[in-house]
Chains A and B, each alone.
Chain A
Amino acid sequence: SQQGEEDPQALSIQEGENATMNCSYKTSINNLQWYRQNSGRGLVHLILIRSNEREKHSGRLRVTLDTSKKSSSLLITASRAADTASYFCATDAAGANSKLTFGKGITLSVRP
């Protein structure tokens, strides 16, 4: 079952621009997490936001969570070519016993 749905599916921007990616989900959550995957590699955890938090920052990353709309956004500011990757949101649903459910991902291309 796919809990998180990312939007858009693909995003292409110029280096230096900001990238905004969205994630919607269906059920109550304990937390929502964002991961990054470079082509052919494993996933790397970026940031976790708990259900009682509304916004969180980590370096050039800003994540927001709106539990009333069951949605989250990931903003990457001042993007770099090295940010080119796929980005996934994952939800830790309430009562899911620490299992994560991943969306299909967003492919971000940052043009130099």
Chain B
Amino acid sequence: DGGITQSPKYLFRKEGQNVTLSCEQNLNHDAMYWYRQDPGQGLRLIYYSQIVNDFQKGDIAEGYSVSREKKESFPLTVTSAQKNPTAFYLCASSPGGSGSQYFGPGTRLTVL
């Protein structure tokens, strides 16, 4: 099955801890994206990568880090520097260019 997966579905973190969210796609897409969604809000772009070994900051990159060592994988680390990390995190991929994006099922992160 082709698709984009995120794990885990739910994640709990203590304050002061870093945590890494997984995103994997087997669609052979060049571009991958990380978004944050807060209740009743739209999606805000954290980081995006248009090609392996390259990524750019989105609108709210502070307190987050990413890597793109493989085409299939784009993990997001939420660091302790992120002041309000509790949110729903969505990963997406696209073939690149001005096309539609394919979304994973999301990871709900809760800071205790």
Could you tell me which A residues sit within 8 Å of B by CB distance? 1-2, 4, 30-31, 33, 35, 40-45, 48, 88, 92, 97-105
Contacts and interface: CB of A to CB of B under 8 A. Distances in A.
B58 interface: yes
Given A42-B90, A88-B43, A103-B42, A98 B104 contact: no
Nearest to A29: B98
B2 interface: no
A41 B96 CA distance: 23
Interface of B, secondary structure class, is strand
Contacts of B44: 102
B94 interface: yes
Nearest to A6: B42
B50 interface: yes
Contacts of A41: 105-106
Given A33-B100, A42-B105, A98-B96, 19 more contacts: A2-B42, A30-B98, A31-B98, A40-B88, A40-B106, A40-B108, A41-B105, A41-B106, A42-B6, A43-B103, A44-B103, A45-B100, A45-B102, A88-B43, A97-B50, A98-B99, A100-B45, A101-B45, A104-B40
Contact of B104 (A4, A42, A101, A105): A42
A43 B6 CA distance: 13
B31 interface: yes
Nearest to B88: A40
A98 B42 contact: no
B9 to A, nearest CB: 9
B31 A98 contact: yes
B59 interface: yes
Contacts of B58: 99
